[in-house]
Structure 1
Amino acid sequence: MKMFLLGAAAGYVLGAKAGRGRYEQIVRTYRKIADHPMVQGAAGIARAKVGERFGRTQR
């Protein structure tokens, strides 16, 4: 638990030093990747396999 809190604190400090501009750049990159059709397809396949594994059905 201590290691997690130490990591979270370090991430917060480093993120704060990077500034808002860097944060926005990371968010834009994440959204660009997450919205890519190949990523969406892979996510759908992963959701289906998890659903099969745990016996859930899609809505």
Structure 2
Amino acid sequence: MRYKVTFVVGLALGYVLGTHAGRERYEQLRKSARELAQNPVVRNAAETAGQSGRQLAGKAFAAVSDKVGDAVPDGLVGRVRGLRGRGSGADDDWGTSNT
């Protein structure tokens, strides 16, 4: 799924950069992209993906730290703890309303 989305985004970006259709078509594509980004289903999917990523990062950190022990750098420990704290849903960059 990620590769399909990446392909579509790349295709759209290439079209916008390479088109000779002018400003009108650019504005139309921009409006469509904005509407898609504001769609509650898309926002919830992005939020779910972010939470899943944070959970996987925590699990990976736990697995690595069990094998490596105290050799895990403190900076990495702080980053992972920061990712875990963001999973609470308090203030995220998406502004979802969980509807």
TM-score where L is the length of structure 2: 0.43
Superposed CA deviations along residues 14-50 of structure 1, whole A, max 9, x for unmatched, are: 23x1211111000100011110111111110000011
For 2:28, the equivalent position in structure 1 comes to 25
Give the alignment's Cα RMSD to 1 decimal. 1.5
Gaps of 5+ in 2: 1-13, 59-82, 92-99
Between the two structures, name the one with larger relative contact order (CA 8 Å, sep ≥ 6). Answer: 2
Count the aligned residue pairs: 47
> Aligned partners of 1:52, 1:23: CA distance in 2, in Å?
38
Alignment of 1:1-59 (within 5 A): 11=14, 12=17, 14-15=18-19, 17-55=20-58, 56-57=83-84, 58=86
TM-score of the two chains, using structure 1 as the length reference: 0.67
**Ranges in structure 1 where 5+ consecutive residues have no aligned partner:** 1-10
Q: Percent identity?
A: 34
Measured after TM superposition, the shift of residue 54 of structure 1 is: 1.6
Please identify the structure whose Cα radius of gyration is greater: 2
